[in-house]
A and B are shown apart, each in its own frame.
Chain A
Amino acid sequence: MKNGQPHFQDKNEFKKIYLLSILHVIHYRLSIDSLLQLGLEFNQIARLLSEVIQKGLVDDFEKKGLQLTTEGIKQLEKLNKDIYSSNPQSWILPSEEFRIPRIGIFDIYLPRKKKY
């Protein structure tokens, strides 16, 4: 794992988190920083955008710009519940770069040493 890059359980979650993030950015009109922080490049964000438009989750209006469709809003809520079940209504998503891999209950976790 690259330092600072997100780590995910499996490929599906990897995909889901991208989808959730882009729907989130569009719905709350946020900056694309969160997508870049996931490690995506601009061309990958463009492809992701094409994908959500193609799936009918987002409309690209000439004047109003990008907006979630009813289906898109449903999908956003579903993904939020799936991925962040403890806080599905939040408009701030946890930062993936600080998520730690799942460990067993008897494993000892030592956080990375912080520089002061």
Chain B
Amino acid sequence: MTAIHKISLEILSQLKNLFIAKNWNTVGDINDSVFNDFCEMLSYLDHKQQDCILELTKKFLKVDFVDIHYYLKEALANIPKQPRNVKKFFVLPLLTKEDSYKQKSSNFLAYTLCGREIKTNSIIGVDKVIFGKRDWLKCILTNNDWKLLLVDDFIGTGETADKAITELTREIGIDKNKIIILVLVSQEEGYKKLVSQGITVVYSELRKKGISDEYVDPIRKEYIDTMESIENLLKLKSKFYFGYQRSEALVALVRTPNNTFPVFWEEKKKNNEKWPAPFSR
């Protein structure tokens, strides 16, 4: 059984101040359960591990349902001004074919863009925004007056986006320079991967790796060792160490991406007992 170290009132106080600073402190709503789970999680950690988690939490980005509109607007404002010949945006959720029948956040975000926001956004300055199905894409290929806007909430490694775009280019024959990916939050790693392929990616928030990019040795090494010791307590597949493909993300959206350090979302300890993950998926 995992040892219980308990948290001191000092640690609880630090966490409380952190929640207040991050504006996660709304009284009586779901954040109370997040706070309770957070404290319970810290109770399973020793002092060094607790300090590491509190430090990383300072950099944690939590995008709640109510924040989505703000982030979406920010990302929309980053769409580059289009050449005069571009008259239409064709909006689709950023999904692989395999995921196209699943309930994904990208479907919700694409739908959100149906509102007036995108149509009246002067920066985009296109005449028409079309929300359609993937099957319709072939019909619009005949003209050159459009761009394809693929929408999602998060890019981690860029693997899913890469796969989705490869499918579109191979099967439908869309040129990569006709595609714009719009996300609320992107890891720098995934962003660079896609941009290097000639794809335009716009975002509201770009995130670095939580430990490797944010700290220098010896602190970096210390945090990596500490995080390894924490992940040893959890039941994890190796591909999720430090987040999927070692993304080291510190992000929670409506659903927490598996790119985030699993200590924040994994719900099982090594012995199958419950791990009180504050941002469970």
> Number of A interface residues, CB 8 Å?
17
B35 to chain A, nearest CB (A): 5
Interface residues of B in 32-63 (CB under 8 A from A): 32, 35-36, 38-40
CB nearest to A30 among chain B residues? B9
CB-defined contacts of B13 to chain A, threshold 8 Å? 46, 49, 60, 65-66
Q: A31 in the interface, Cβ–Cβ < 8 Å?
A: yes
Is A42 a contact partner of B35 (Cβ separation < 8 A)?
yes
Is A31 a contact partner of B16 (Cβ separation < 8 A)?
no
CB nearest to B9 among chain A residues? A32
Q: A50 in the interface, Cβ–Cβ < 8 Å?
A: yes
Is A32 a contact partner of B16 (Cβ separation < 8 A)?
no
Q: Contacting B40 at CB < 8 Å: which of A22, A25, A42, A60? A: A42
Is A45 a contact partner of B12 (Cβ separation < 8 A)?
yes
How distant is the Cα of A16 from the Cα of B40 in the complex, in angstroms?
26
Is A43 a contact partner of B10 (Cβ separation < 8 A)?
no
CB-defined contacts of A32 to chain B, threshold 8 Å? 6-9, 12
How distant is the Cα of A66 from the Cα of B12 in the complex, in angstroms?
11
Given the contacts A42-B40, A49-B16, A50-B16, A66 and B9 also touching, CB distance less than 8 Å: yes
How distant is the Cα of A51 from the Cα of B183 in the complex, in angstroms?
40
Q: A10 in the interface, Cβ–Cβ < 8 Å?
A: no
For chain B, the bracket of interface size reads: 10 to 19
Q: Contacting A46 at CB < 8 Å: which of B10, B16, B40? A: B16
CB nearest to A35 among chain B residues? B9
Q: A73 in the interface, Cβ–Cβ < 8 Å?
A: no
Interface residues of A in 37-57 (CB under 8 A from B): 41-43, 45-47, 49-50
CB-defined contacts of B16 to chain A, threshold 8 Å? 46, 49-50
Q: A26 in the interface, Cβ–Cβ < 8 Å?
A: yes
How distant is the Cα of A92 from the Cα of B6 in the complex, in angstroms?
19
CB-defined contacts of B9 to chain A, threshold 8 Å? 22, 25-26, 32, 45, 49, 66
Q: A107 in the interface, Cβ–Cβ < 8 Å?
A: no
CB-defined contacts of B32 to chain A, threshold 8 Å? 41, 43
How distant is the Cα of A45 from the Cα of B36 in the complex, in angstroms?
10
CB-defined contacts of A26 to chain B, threshold 8 Å? 9
Is B6 a contact partner of A42 (Cβ separation < 8 A)?
no
How distant is the Cα of A60 from the Cα of B11 in the complex, in angstroms?
12
Mark contacts of A66-87 with chain B using CB atoms, 8 A cut-off: 1 yes-contact digit, 0 otherwise.
1000000000000000000000
How distant is the Cα of A26 from the Cα of B36 in the complex, in angstroms?
20
Given the contacts A50-B16, A60-B13, A42 and B8 also touching, CB distance less than 8 Å: no
Given the contacts A32-B12, A60-B13, A66-B13, A43 and B6 also touching, CB distance less than 8 Å: no
B interface vs A, CB < 8 Å?
6-10, 12-13, 15-17, 19, 27, 32, 35-36, 38-40
Supply 20 further A-B pairs (C-beta < 8 A) apart from A41-B36, A42-B35. Answer: A31-B6, A32-B6, A32-B8, A33-B6, A42-B12, A42-B36, A42-B38, A42-B39, A43-B32, A43-B35, A45-B12, A46-B12, A46-B13, A46-B16, A46-B35, A47-B27, A49-B9, A50-B16, A65-B13, A66-B13
